[in-house]
């Protein structure tokens, strides 16, 4: 903002118009570690539906939002980016990034799709979290042919494929910019001036459309930003690279949009030993003396998560679990005996001495430092045990219990970290792959489904948890999040049936997963023209238990 426009903002009339009283604003704000809406604390259950802009009709968007809202869900997180390097014959696309130049599609199959979603969300009383780019855009793609559709090669060995936009990692993103600008490393997305200019330009186009919409909960600069992706990072990428980029993008968004929150879109990785660009104030200043919000939580005096704490708590929990297993007679010894004395294995010793990649900055992400950037309004984290380890497994526990417990511990540590910064926190996506979803499961960094029946990589025909285990895990994680004070909990992800299907588009007739090729599968014999939403392994469509748990969580979080 230049000095003149700064003065202009200070004139009383403009201040009234642009910055309503924080406690009676139509926009969601924050107060300490709480979200605030119109004078009250706002806590929400949400869902992810990255594919909403790829639906074929506006009615489909309207009904999907209606079904979401009918469960009591208040927030939907989705992709506000859809980058291509060749204009596709049909389907949605937002931005052409090609050979170092960019142009934006604001037509009916472009940003007008997003306009429709935002408008309909507002009518349905829903709020959206809009991500502006993605860390993940793995290749290869199959070659495009005369259909103009560039499919993903999903099932190894068969060349079975899915249409563009079916998978969450098929919407362009950082690696597409890097390639099309003729560069090489993933972190050049964060540091190259031409890419930064193009990305800020795109950001301006999106953000300026909805400055006055009350349906925007927040702008998320990127989904799951890290130093590495399919393209690897240069040696110079550190947590400071990623933190600095967030500060730049947040400053830019704030210069366009004074109304909406800007959130960190990270997976929540912390770095207990990293230097900080935004160190915590040793004595936090008193909270602003605005009129208190009813039911507002007191400012927490939480301290950041430390290496010592993680190691101590892991050792204590192992000891407790070991005792319990001994009592129950289920203890599985995993060490070796030396002269009659029990000694744990070398791996175990090593595991108990390092905090591991989720806490040591290996991914180039320090979510605490990013959260403490002044223009970042709230923190976010994710929980995907099928794709990420959240700590060493405890040998006294079975693998499902380990998954559950590590998830619970991750949620609690994240809350502690955000409390230390003094800002709200949301779990913006979490999921567990079920046996039913396993054939459709494509990890974020891959274009193939490792557990598809015909995948050459498929060595585990029973991969995934049961529906009941998924339901129980979601229930426990929701409850942990609610009792530990999360502002929002957003499941991954919504599944919607009865969508309008058209051959050659993201929603194709008769397609129920990757076992069929939507480009070639003929209209089903009864000429069914409906389809279901994309499934990258986490759709909640096949498990009614999860739908019920989500609904219960919407009631519990409101009552808490
Ligand atoms: C905001 O709260 C006031 C009372 O505190 C209420 O009259 C008004 O209807 C609320 N506005 C909205 C949009 O909910
Ligand atoms: C849910 O979606 C179906 C179509 O799949 C639609 O008929 C129904 O009206 C929707 N429900 C709501 C509450 O919008
Ligand atoms: C890419 O741009 C450069 C100059 O900016 C030009 O020389 C080159 O021909 C372009 N390549 C393609 C494939 O358009
Ligand atoms: C393009 O792909 C479709 C679907 O796989 C196939 O039917 C068609 O023959 C292909 N066209 C060419 C020219 O390869
Ligand atoms: C998309 O393109 C394919 C191939 O040209 C065509 O068969 C199909 O009808 C198109 N679908 C839409 C919705 O335009
Ligand atoms: C898969 O497609 C690629 C590229 O079109 C081709 O080279 C390869 O032979 C195909 N493999 C199979 C098993 O069809
Ligand atoms: C910014 O976006 C506009 C609109 O699409 C485009 O015309 C322009 O070339 C872009 N500029 C840069 C520097 O990317
Ligand atoms: C990730 O990025 C860092 C920093 O550049 C690098 O040292 C490391 O080797 C990368 N890790 C992987 C798995 O590529
Ligand atoms: C993707 O990530 C998984 C889990 O971290 C890893 O096992 C796999 O090798 C990765 N695949 C690629 C293609 O990077
Ligand atoms: C196969 O998957 C199941 C369920 O996720 C798991 O319990 C089992 O350990 C896996 N087996 C192998 C060999 O990976
Ligand atoms: C489905 O459509 C085809 C072609 O339009 C038609 O020949 C066939 O009779 C239809 N089948 C049914 C069951 O309606
Ligand atoms: C409202 C509606 O159309 N519901 C249908 C959605 O699809 C399922 C399964 O195909 C049908 O059973 C519903 O009747």
CA of residue 188 to ligand 9 center, whole Å: 21
Name the residue with higher pLDDT: 222 or 24.
Answer: 222
294, 390 Cβ separation under 8 angstroms: no
Closest atom, ligand 9, to C-alpha of 446: 13
Q: Does the CB atom of residue 522 touch ligand 11 within 6 A?
A: no
CA of residue 61 to ligand 2 center, whole Å: 10
For residue 155, pLDDT over 90 is answered with: no
3-state secondary structure of 510: coil
Q: Does the CB atom of residue 235 touch ligand 11 within 6 A?
A: no
Average of per-residue pLDDT across 75-83: 98
Prediction pTM value: 0.87
**What CATH code would you report for 40-559?**
3.20.20.80
Q: Which of 174-188, 331-345, 513-527 has the highest mean pLDDT?
A: 174-188
Residues 6+ apart with CB under 8 A from 420: 280, 300, 302, 303, 304, 305, 368
Looking at residue 159, what is its pLDDT? Answer: 58
Average of per-residue pLDDT across 551-555: 98
Q: Does the CB atom of residue 273 touch ligand 2 within 6 A?
A: no
Looking at residue 11, what is its pLDDT? Answer: 40
For residue 461, pLDDT over 90 is answered with: no
3-state secondary structure of 558: helix
Looking at residue 240, what is its pLDDT? Answer: 98
Name the residue with higher pLDDT: 15 or 514.
Answer: 514
Atom 13 of ligand 3: nearest residue by CA position: 99
Q: What is the dihedral of CA 549, 551, 554, 557, to 10 degrees?
A: -30
Residue (of 377, 372, 369, 375) closest to 263 by Cα position: 377
Average of per-residue pLDDT across 311-330: 93
Quick one: tokens of 306?
Answer: 């430390």
Looking at residue 331, what is its pLDDT? Answer: 78
Least confident of 57-71, 134-148, 368-382: 134-148
Q: Across the chain, what does the average pLDDT equal?
A: 87
Q: What is the DSSP letter of 134?
A: B
For residue 416, pLDDT over 70 is answered with: yes
CA of residue 465 to ligand 10 center, whole Å: 9
Looking at residue 515, what is its pLDDT? Answer: 46
Closest atom, ligand 6, to C-alpha of 159: 1
- Read off the pLDDT of residues 260-289 as tens digits, 9 standing for 90 and up: 999 999 999 999 999 999 999 766 555 544
For residue 459, pLDDT over 90 is answered with: no
CA of residue 538 to ligand 4 center, whole Å: 30
Looking at residue 4, what is its pLDDT? Answer: 40
Q: What does the buried/exposed string (b/e) look like for 13-26 if buried means 16 or more CB atoms within 10 Å of the residue's CB?
A: eeeeeeeeebbebe
- Read off the pLDDT of residues 502-539 as tens digits, 9 standing for 90 and up: 877 888 776 555 544 444 444 454 556 788 899 999 99
For residue 351, pLDDT over 70 is answered with: no
Looking at residue 261, what is its pLDDT? Answer: 98
d(CA 433, CA 383): 12
CA of residue 181 to ligand 3 center, whole Å: 11
- Read off the pLDDT of residues 157-166 as tens digits, 9 standing for 90 and up: 555 678 889 9
CA of residue 442 to ligand 6 center, whole Å: 20
- Read off the pLDDT of residues 467-476 as tens digits, 9 standing for 90 and up: 999 999 999 9
> 98 forms bridges with which residues in the sheet?
101
Looking at residue 296, what is its pLDDT? Answer: 45
Burial of residue 298, with CB atoms counted within 10 A of its CB: 0-12 exposed, 13-18 middle, 19 or more buried = exposed
Atom 3 of ligand 10: nearest residue by CA position: 463
Residue 437 sits at φ, ψ, to 5 deg, of -85, -15
Give the confidence band of 62 by pLDDT, cuts at 50, 70, 90: very high
Pairing assessment for the beta strands 34-37 and 160-162 based on DSSP bridges: unpaired
Average of per-residue pLDDT across 422-428: 98
Sheet holding 101-104, edge to edge: 83-84, 95-98, 101-104
CA of residue 208 to ligand 3 center, whole Å: 31
3-state secondary structure of 199: helix
**Domain ranges across the chain:** 40-559
User: Which protein residues touch ligand 3 with a CB less than 6 Å away?
Assistant: 99-100
Average of per-residue pLDDT across 311-315: 97
Looking at residue 460, what is its pLDDT? Answer: 75
Which of 60, 63, 497 is the best mutation target for the ligand 12 pocket, counting ligand atoms within 8 Å of the beta carbon and taking the most?
Answer: 497
For residue 19, pLDDT over 50 is answered with: no
Give me the percent of the chain exceeding a pLDDT of 90.
70
Name the residue with higher pLDDT: 145 or 429.
Answer: 429
């Amino acid at each position: 903002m230049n000095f003149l426009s700064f003065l202009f903002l200070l004139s009383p009339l403009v201040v009234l118009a642009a910055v309503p009283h924080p406690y009676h604003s139509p926009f969601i704000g924050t107060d300490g570690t709480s979200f605030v809406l119109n004078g009250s604390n706002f806590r929400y259950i949400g869902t992810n539906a990255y594919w909403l802009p790829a639906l074929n009709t506006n009615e489909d968007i309207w009904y999907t939002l209606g079904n979401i809202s009918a469960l009591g869900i208040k927030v939907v997180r989705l992709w506000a980016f859809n980058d291509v390097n060749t204009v596709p014959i049909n389907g949605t696309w937002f931005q052409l990034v090609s050979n170092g130049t960019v142009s934006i599609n604001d037509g009916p199959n472009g940003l007008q799709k997003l306009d429709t979603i935002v408008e309909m969300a507002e009518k349905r009383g829903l709020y959206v979290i809009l991500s502006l780019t993605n860390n993940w855009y793995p290749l290869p793609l199959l070659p495009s042919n005369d259909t103009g559709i560039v499919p993903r090669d999903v099932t190894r060995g068969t060349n079975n494929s899915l249409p563009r936009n079916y998978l969450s990692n098929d919407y362009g993103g950082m690696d597409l910019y890097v390639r099309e600008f003729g560069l090489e490393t993933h972190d050049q997305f964060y540091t190259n001036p031409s890419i930064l200019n193009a990305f800020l330009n795109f950001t301006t186009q999106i953000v300026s459309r909805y400055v006055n919409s009350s349906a925007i909960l927040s702008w998320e600069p990127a989904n799951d930003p890290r130093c590495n992706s399919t393209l690897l990072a240069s040696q110079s990428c550190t947590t400071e690279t990623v933190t600095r980029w967030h500060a730049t993008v947040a400053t830019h968004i704030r210069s366009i949009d004074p109304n909406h929150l800007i959130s960190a879109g990270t997976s929540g990785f912390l770095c207990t030993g990293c230097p900080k660009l935004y160190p915590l104030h040793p004595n936090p200043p008193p909270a602003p003396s605005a009129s208190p919000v009813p039911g507002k939580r007191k400012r927490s005096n939480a301290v950041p998560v430390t290496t010592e704490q993680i190691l101590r708590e892991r050792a204590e929990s192992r000891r407790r679990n070991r005792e319990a297993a001994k009592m129950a007679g289920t203890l599985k010894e995993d060490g070796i005996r030396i002269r009659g004395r029990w000694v744990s294995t070398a791996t175990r010793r090593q595991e108990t001495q390092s905090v591991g990649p989720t806490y040591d900055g290996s991914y180039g992400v320090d979510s605490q430092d990013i959260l403490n950037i002044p223009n970042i309004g709230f923190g976010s984290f994710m929980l995907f045990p099928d794709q990420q380890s959240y700590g060493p497994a405890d040998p006294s526990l079975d693998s499902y219990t380990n998954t559950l417990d590590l998830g619970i511990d991750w949620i609690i540590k994240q809350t502690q970290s955000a409390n230390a910064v003094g800002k709200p926190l949301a779990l913006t996506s979490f999921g567990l792959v079920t046996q039913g979803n396993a054939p459709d499961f494509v990890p974020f960094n891959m274009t193939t489904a490792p557990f598809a029946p015909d995948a050459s990589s498929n060595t585990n025909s029973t991969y995934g948890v049961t529906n009941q285990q998924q339901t129980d895990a979601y229930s426990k994680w929701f409850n942990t999040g609610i009792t530990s004070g999360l502002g929002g909990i957003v499941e991954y992800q919504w599944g919607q049936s009865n969508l309008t299907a058209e051959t050659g588009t993201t929603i194709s007739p008769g397609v129920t997963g990757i076992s069929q090729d939507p480009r070639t599968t003929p209209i089903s014999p009864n000429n069914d023209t409906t389809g279901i939403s994309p499934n990258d392994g986490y759709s909640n469509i096949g498990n009614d238990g999860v739908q019920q748990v989500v609904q219960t969580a919407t009631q519990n979080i409101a009552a808490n």
